[in-house]
């Protein structure tokens, strides 16, 4: 994953859930990054790295909300031709910044 400040992360992700959808899907959406200082690359990195846990629910329109161990809330709203519910966790490990 690459964030808006050029920080690159390795993502380890796992989830459980159920769903129904076509074998190939495309997702169009918008993410929201809540209560973190967005003007500083270092703070952005600290907010995104580490563990986070969340849930996704969808039926054509999909919503996701997650909270990280750093206390930062994030979410996403997308349009996806599937129906389902998942619960998952993610670990993001900071690697480097492409601008350095």
Q: What are the tens digits of pLDDT across the range 12-31?
A: 888 888 888 776 555 566 66
pLDDT by residue (tens digit) across 35-71?
667 677 777 777 778 888 888 888 877 777 777 777 7
DSSP character string of the chain: -B-TTSEEEEEEEEEEEEEE--SS---EEEEEE-SS--S-HHHHHHHHSEEEEEEEEEEEEEEEEEEETTS-EEEEEEEEEEEEEEEEEEEEEEEEETT-
pTM above 0.85, yes or no: no
């Amino acid at each position: 994953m690459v964030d808006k400040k050029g920080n690159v992360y390795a993502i380890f992700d796992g989830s459980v859930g159920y769903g129904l959808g076509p074998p190939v899907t495309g997702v169009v959406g918008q993410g929201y990054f809540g209560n973190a200082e967005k003007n500083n690359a270092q703070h952005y990195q600290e907010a995104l790295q580490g563990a986070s846990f969340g849930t996704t629910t969808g039926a054509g329109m999909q919503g996701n909300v997650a909270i990280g161990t750093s206390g930062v809330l994030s979410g996403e709203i997308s349009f996806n031709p599937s129906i389902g519910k998942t619960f998952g966790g993610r670990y993001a490990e900071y690697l480097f910044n492409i601008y350095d």
